[in-house]
Structure 1
């Protein structure tokens, strides 16, 4: 009796006078009822969800009391010590909040603070003045961090979703916000190495035409870019539905080759960077 009852209620409602069955949802026809447009509905829900998440994230940018700065500072510290632990927490967020990307802008706010501090250090070292400092700070924030970050995140987002997903399923795709978070994670160590650590040795060792200056400055670049690629690799390898993420590490080979060539031909990347910034802001 129970099985007959289940079968009766699993079938569509009967038609009246040969007409299609009535939809229980106002404005919904048979196609919407029986799933003929399931793919369109799924994409619509995904777009609405992404829009809602983005609006929530941007809406919290100025609500400092709601931000977890202690956790964001912990992430920054462990990006140097053990970046794998940072991405384990991203996996935990997916399990608890059903999203990979950050929903708390505290990390971005702290990163902006370090951009401000590093800009002061650069401005003092290069004698840029107040106006030069403002121009330099805006350039670093909107071009070096956000502008380049949008390009890199969009590139990885396209490549991962098109070529590296194992079996496309609902909910198994790389969020653009997560791709941008991966860039921010990788950008922070690069910023600290190139914009703060280097300044300590700039005038004493780097700012000269000798081989030692080229060696010290370009070694900082090698370490910073290797960190960037490695943390980027960790970010995408943390997603269980991606394949061949180790191919990201191949870029390190190219960086090492350019590094060796720079030492042979004495291309001092740090002096070139400082000269570039000075021309842009003066």
Structure 2
């Protein structure tokens, strides 16, 4: 999941083979640990989650230490994904208890929240970031013998998961807590809902920017901040139009009226 460093390969593609081998080995290790909970470091993962909320630069500083000690940027521990999936499932269950109508539809919503909203959508976003970083943001080599580096897909997925966690706390957990206020038919509820969604989406973009800017071989990573400008413009327009994002989300999820 991290950028893998490899020198320009001679004829025969030896460097490329080593690159693929290292990437495959990391993925196999990640999958093996997924089925061995005792090998997951949940304590460190919880610390990382806390840092992503209060000091995200500290969290990515430790990613650099990981690169120095294990020679890859991506996490080889699936604990972060496991905890996020559990949090998504638990929060989806809470929403179903509050707004759901039927056991079958509620079960479908919970599975969809984990499999589609978190994993599938996350893989899609990670793929877009991975492609953009490798195709447009890598620094050009200064000479023909310079070390070539690239962003591995697994690291791009790590970046998404890191950005997803605080945004999810804001747009799902905190929103659920504030629903009695956000669902009232008042101008204040519309302002608070729009501000909450603007903050959550903006923080997601910011953490995504930090994730890619932590890689020393990338440049112009501020591109990942550009969507914040759209959020800043969209939020006041939504308020003026009387659009409450919380009501829109619940209407999409549960046909809330």
Q: TM-score, normalised by structure 1?
A: 0.82
Alignment of 1:172 with 2:146, yes or no, is: no
Following superposition, the deviation at residue 247 of structure 1 comes to: 2.4
Q: Residue 184 of structure 1 corresponds to which residue in structure 2?
A: 161
**Which of 189, 202, 207 is equivalent to 1:231?**
207
| Offset from partner CA, 1:61-99 (integer Å, 9 cap, x none) | 021111100000001111111011111111111111111
Following superposition, the deviation at residue 209 of structure 1 comes to: 3.3
**Which of 22, 28, 43 is equivalent to 1:55?**
28
Is the CA contact 2:100–2:254 (under 8 Å) kept in the aligned structure 1? no
Following superposition, the deviation at residue 173 of structure 1 comes to: 0.7
In the aligned structure 2, how far is the partner of 1:124 from the partner of 1:43? Answer: 51
Q: TM-score, normalised by structure 2?
A: 0.90
Name the larger-Rg structure: 1
Q: Residue 69 of structure 1 corresponds to which residue in structure 2?
A: 42
Following superposition, the deviation at residue 36 of structure 1 comes to: 4.7
In the aligned structure 2, how far is the partner of 1:197 from the partner of 1:270? Answer: 11
**Which of 242, 256, 267 is equivalent to 2:243?**
267
What SS class does the counterpart of residue 83 from structure 2 fall into? helix
| Offset from partner CA, 1:86-130 (integer Å, 9 cap, x none) | 111111111111111100111111112211221122112213443
In the aligned structure 2, how far is the partner of 1:170 from the partner of 1:233? Answer: 24
Q: Residue 103 of structure 1 corresponds to which residue in structure 2?
A: 76
Larger RCO, structure (CA 8 Å, separation 6 or more): 2
1:233 to 1:267, Cα distance in 2 relative to 1, 3 A: same
* Between 209-218 and 219-228, the greater mean CA deviation after superposition: 209-218
Alignment of 1:244 with 2:244, yes or no, is: no
Alignment of 1:46 with 2:23, yes or no, is: no
Alignment of 1:112 with 2:88, yes or no, is: no
In the aligned structure 2, how far is the partner of 1:134 from the partner of 1:245? Answer: 39
**Which of 96, 99, 105 is equivalent to 1:123?**
96
What SS class does the counterpart of residue 117 from structure 1 fall into? helix
Is the CA contact 1:121–1:196 (under 8 Å) kept in the aligned structure 2? no
In the aligned structure 2, how far is the partner of 1:94 from the partner of 1:171? Answer: 16
What SS class does the counterpart of residue 266 from structure 1 fall into? coil
In the aligned structure 2, how far is the partner of 1:274 from the partner of 1:94? Answer: 41
**Which of 217, 221, 224 is equivalent to 2:197?**
221
Q: Residue 37 of structure 1 corresponds to which residue in structure 2?
A: 11
| Offset from partner CA, 1:150-185 (integer Å, 9 cap, x none) | 111111111111111113554511110000000000
User: How many corresponding residue pairs?
Assistant: 244
Q: What 5-or-longer segments of structure 2 have no aligned partner?
A: 1-8
What SS class does the counterpart of residue 172 from structure 1 fall into? strand
In the aligned structure 2, how far is the partner of 1:56 from the partner of 1:106? Answer: 13
In the aligned structure 2, how far is the partner of 1:194 from the partner of 1:41? Answer: 47
Stretches of 4+ aligned residues off by more than 6 angstroms? none
Q: What 5-or-longer segments of structure 1 have no aligned partner?
A: 1-34
Following superposition, the deviation at residue 275 of structure 1 comes to: 1.1
Alignment of 1:142 with 2:125, yes or no, is: no
